[in-house]
Structure 1
Amino acid sequence: MNPFLASIYQIFYTLLPILVFLNFNTEENKIFLKRLINLFSIILLFSLITFLLHFFFDLPYVITKNNNDFYPPFKNFFTFVISENGDLGWFTRFSSIYTEPGHLSMTCAIFLFIMGYTWKKWQNILMTIALVWSLSLAGVILYFIGMILYFTAKSNNIPLTVFKIISCSLLIIILGISYYSPTNNDIISVKILSRLEFDESKGISGNNRNSIVFDQYYDNVTHSDKRYLGIGRHQMTEKYGGTGNSSYKNYILGNGYISFFGIIFLMSILLYSFPSKKGTGLMLLLCASFLQRPYFLWAIQVMPYIAALSCWCRLSHDKAKYRQNQKLFSTYKI
């Protein structure tokens, strides 16, 4: 498909549903978020229970193939899936019913920010367990970034909050460094800590989102006339379909800088329309997620973003109005 036509197609395919969703009022957005996160958590509940049972019992499954050749066949247990060559017993990465553990952890990190990280909510407990058991380095990083942004946004004393966060982060880093050894074979060392080792070419060894060949082609295209509209979805599929490449570079290469900055503009104009501190934090979290997985236009990201911004803006407006009324009342009280 012609890159220009592909861009038009993407506008109608992604932006029209967003425009419809923008007509929801705050109460409807609140109901949407509640039902979406409850449904997601119920799926996780059944997935986690049966995932645990499969370690002790031979549960029935069928072999399912993904349309993307990058993925090997899956063992489909109906309430969760495992890559056919990824069943490693207790070391198996949990992905529930979703294609990748990284997709699951990314969604959990975003929903945990929206829910506020409190352990008083059963949904948060399930999502935290799922995120940790996904053994996704990106998911863990997003989780901590989200916590930093959330509690900074909520704080009335930002310098003190930042100091506490930095102190806790340094403590975790020191504990991780003192615990880790290349000879360790435990799941945390192998799947997470080993991927944080320094690498001269990639920064950290776990930074494997794009291959060297991809980066070279990306550099060539982004210095040519194709950088504005990208090479198009069809050519992206031909060249890199079935490969493990996934980062913001994929989006720019396929859709061009115009579309990329269009997404930044969309995120910003939504935040400008529904301003709040937590909304700013959520936007920054989604930007961090976009660096690794450019999926902001997926409904599971953009629609909760819109709904949460609307709810938080209304809440902050109501609080401001309450404080204004309280001040007015105190002025005239006897």
Structure 2
Amino acid sequence: MWYDKFIVGTFDILGYICLCITILGATVLILATDKVKLWILAFFTSCTQFIVAIGLFGWILYLLKVPMPHYTDFSDAYYIHTIYYLFNMNGLPDLQLVPRFAGPFLEPGHLGTMCVFLLYLNRFALKKMGNIVLLVGVLFSLSLAAYGLLLGSIVIYLYQQRKFLWISLILGIFLSFGFGAMIYNGGDNALNTAIVMRLEVNDDGEIAGNNRTSMAFDSAYARFLKSNQIWTGVGSAAFGTHENGTDNITLGCASYKRYFFLRGIIGSMLIVIFLLFYCLYYRSSWSFGFFIVYLVANLIRDYPTMEMWMYLYLMAIPCLSLMQKQQIKKIE
């Protein structure tokens, strides 16, 4: 986090105060007892399930064409948000060819990723209504990244449970829905448009849905790989000088490429080493599974040190280790 501040952040008093608060929160979580970690994680999970459920209620009303008060916010350099109070929508309602659910999050992919995290932490216990809410949230997000992360986390969970037949069944279900979406209504449906068609491979060998970086960024990234900046990263210089952020080379980009571009080899290695060693300290297959899910999620979206994700990781790793030990004791 200190590396982020010096290389990527801005030098101002407020920024350092926020950084100190962030580090203090992380330290408290690391030093907290297992009982406290479990309580905080349960509370966070319940709160997330509750706000996603409220968003889903409003989303269903929206899909049913029920008029609801809303306003549009154009203040961000990249996003346009239409706020329906019960949920947030990216873009303008009239231009939504395929409506995607974002709940209270910035975009559907953010919602879907967080829901997948919590589903894995709750061991996909779909007998609990809160976890069903999270699963519906992922499905309604129509996020290719979230769908892929969901499939991967389910496979990891089933592998840990030694349910190999179930892995084949789940893969078969996903493939069946994919082929079904291609056929249903001639392919003119939300699932085919938002997910299946984005898996097609273009002439250049790239997946159609690979929109994590812009052409301008890719060009700058290619030059960066051949420069001396590769060690420490481009840092805050990538954000440009205009107050509205329109000259930010990373605008609209997200992936491991952006993270590496900003922080270089040193910064990228520091976060990977921390995440790995923190996981290995607790020595649990359940925890290591979450480490894989978290790592893949950040290869897509690159938020490993953002408070909401980082705090969740700091709680999840020791809690999963403890829960696995408790399950082993019950079996014995």
Q: What TM-score does the superposition give when structure 1 sets the normalisation length?
A: 0.84
C-alpha distance in 2, partners of 1:223/1:234?
A: 17
Q: Does 1:309 align with 2:312?
A: no
Q: Distance in 2 between matches of 1:118 and 1:320?
A: 18
Task: Return the offset for 1:296.
Answer: 1.5
Deviations 1:63-92 (A, max 9, x none): 3234x31112x2212121223424567941
Return the match for 1:173 from 169, 172, 175: 175
Match of 1:61 in 2: 70
**Secondary structure, in 3 states, of the residue corresponding to 2:31?**
coil
- Residue number among 232, 239, 245 corresponding to 1:229 in the alignment: 232
Q: Pairwise mapping of residues 163-242 of structure 1 onto structure 2 (< 5 A)? A: 164-166=166-168, 168-170=170-172, 172-173=174-175, 176-177=178-179, 179-180=181-182, 183-237=186-240, 239-240=247-248
**In structure 2, what is the equivalent of residue 332 of structure 1?**
none
Deviations 1:145-202 (A, max 9, x none): 01011121233xxxxx446424642563366246525952111111111001122435
* Deviation of 1:16 (Å): 4.5
Give 1:231 shift: 1.0
Deviations along 1:72-113, whole A, 9 cap, x unmatched? 2x2212121223424567941111121111111111111111
CA-CA distance at 1:234 after TM superposition: 4.2
Cα distance change, pair 316–52 in 1 and its aligned pair in 2 (3 A): closer
d(CA) in 1 for partners of 2:89 and 2:330? 51
Task: Check 1:199–1:92 CA distance in 2 against 1; reply closer, same or farther (3 A cut).
Answer: same
Which residues of 2 match residues 121-160 of structure 1 at below 5 A?
A: 121-155=128-162
Contact 2:187 2:193 in 1 (8 A): yes
Residue 32 of structure 1 aligns with which residue? 40
Whether the 8 Å contact between 1:69 and 1:242 is mirrored in structure 2 is no
In 1, the alpha carbon distance for the partners of 2:254 and 2:71 equals 28
Q: Who is 2:244 aligned against?
A: none
Identity %: 21
Which region of structure 1 is more displaced relative to structure 2, 3-12 or 16-25?
A: 3-12
- CA distance in structure 2 between the partners assigned to 1:84 and 1:112 by the alignment: 28
Task: Spell out, residue by residue over 1:34-88, the C-alpha distance to the aligned partner (whole angstroms, 9 max, x if none).
Answer: 110111111111111122223342211223234x31112x221212122342456
- Structural RMSD (CA): 2.9
Who is 2:305 aligned against? 297
**Equivalent residue, structure 1, for 2:85:** 78
Structure 1 pair 297–87 and aligned structure 2 pair: CA distance change class (3 A): farther
Name the TM-score, length of structure 2 as normaliser: 0.85
- Checking the alignment, whether the CA contact within 8 Å between 2:178 and 2:192 is kept in structure 1 is no
Deviation at 1:290, TM superposition (A): 1.0
Q: How many residues align?
A: 316
Which range is displaced more, 166-175 or 296-305? 166-175
Cα drift, residue 116 of structure 1: 1.2
Alpha-carbon separation, structure 1, partners of 2:9 and 2:98: 44
Matched letter for residue 261 of structure 2: L
User: Partners in 1 of 2:33 and 2:283 — Cα distance?
Assistant: 15
Q: 1:313 to 1:64 in 2, by over 3 A?
A: same
Task: Please list every run of 5 or more consecutive structure 2 residues that lacks an aligned counterpart in the other structure.
Answer: 242-246
Within the candidate set 243, 247, 250, 2:255 is matched to 247
1:329 matched residue in structure 2: none
Max Rg structure = 1
Partner letter of residue 174 of structure 2? Answer: I
Question: More displaced, 178-187 or 22-31?
Answer: 178-187
Q: Which deviations, in whole Å up to 9, do the C-alpha atoms of 1:298-319 show, x marking residues without a partner?
A: 2222222221221222234456
Change in 2 beyond 3 A, CA 1:23/1:52: same
- Do structure 1's residue 48 and structure 2's residue 50 form an aligned pair? no
Structure 2 counterpart of 1:65, one-letter code: F
Tell me the equivalent position of 1:158.
Answer: none
